[in-house]
């Protein structure tokens, strides 16, 4: 771009910015750049800077199927019983699948751990410390997986309608 065109663009931008600045008045909690004669007595001219006004959020209409609680102290939306039962059923299925995976993993880890004496792997025959590290890792993994299973069972017990624990 040629320097003369650049100067022309900058000059035009400055002139537009200067013409865009108008007098701004504050009339109570409202800002305006046009004041009627009736407002002129109560409005004050704002000087020394730009004013940015941010609009507050508008209340959204509730989604279909969601009932909004009345002014009985709760502001959270209410969910239909059928929708809640469906969500509880989905949560139960997910938790039961996770429980089955964790229990299968526990069986694998128990077999590999072999009561604290797992079989030595190739490099572990020459380096006993590697073997001891792997045994410690297996023991920690067993404990972690056991606590995961207990946590999943607790969550299943918290779900409504859980008369029997799996």
Question: Alpha-carbon distance 133 to 89, whole Å?
Answer: 42
With respect to residue 122, please indicate whether it lies within any of the assigned structural domains.
yes
48 domain-assigned: no
Threshold 0.75, pTM exceeds: no
Assigned domain for 152 exists: yes
Residue 144 lies in a domain: yes
Q: Determine, yes or no, domain membership for 53.
A: no
pLDDT value for 44? 82
Q: Give per-residue pLDDT as tens, 23-69.
A: 777 787 787 777 776 667 788 877 766 666 667 777 666 566 555 55
Q: What is the pLDDT of residues 56-113, one digit of tens each?
A: 777 666 566 555 555 455 567 888 888 988 999 999 999 999 999 999 999 999 999 9
Nearest to 76 by CA among 62, 86, 88, 87: 62
Contact 32, 24 (CB under 8 A): yes
What sections of 3-127 are H helices per DSSP? 3-20, 81-113
Q: Does residue 128 sit within a domain?
A: yes
Number of domains the chain contains? 1
Q: Is the pLDDT of residue 148 over 90?
A: yes
Residue 154 lies in domain: 81-158
């Amino acid at each position: 771009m040629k320097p003369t065109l650049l100067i022309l663009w900058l000059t035009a931008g400055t002139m537009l910015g200067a013409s865009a600045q108008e007098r701004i008045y504050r009339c109570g909690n409202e800002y305006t750049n046009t004041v009627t004669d009736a407002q002129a007595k109560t409005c004050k001219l704002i000087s020394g800077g730009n004013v940015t006004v941010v609009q507050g959020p508008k209340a959204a209409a509730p989604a279909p199927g969601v009932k909004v609680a009345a002014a009985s102290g709760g502001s959270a939306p209410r969910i239909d019983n059928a929708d809640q039962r469906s969500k509880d059923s989905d949560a139960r299925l997910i938790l039961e699948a996770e429980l089955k995976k964790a229990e299968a993993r526990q069986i694998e880890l128990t077999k590999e751990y072999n009561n604290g004496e797992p079989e030595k792997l190739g490099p572990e025959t020459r380096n006993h410390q590697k073997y001891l590290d792997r045994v410690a890792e297996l023991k920690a993994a067993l404990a972690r997986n056991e606590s995961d299973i207990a946590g999943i069972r607790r969550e299943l017990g918290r779900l409504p309608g859980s008369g029997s624990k799996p």
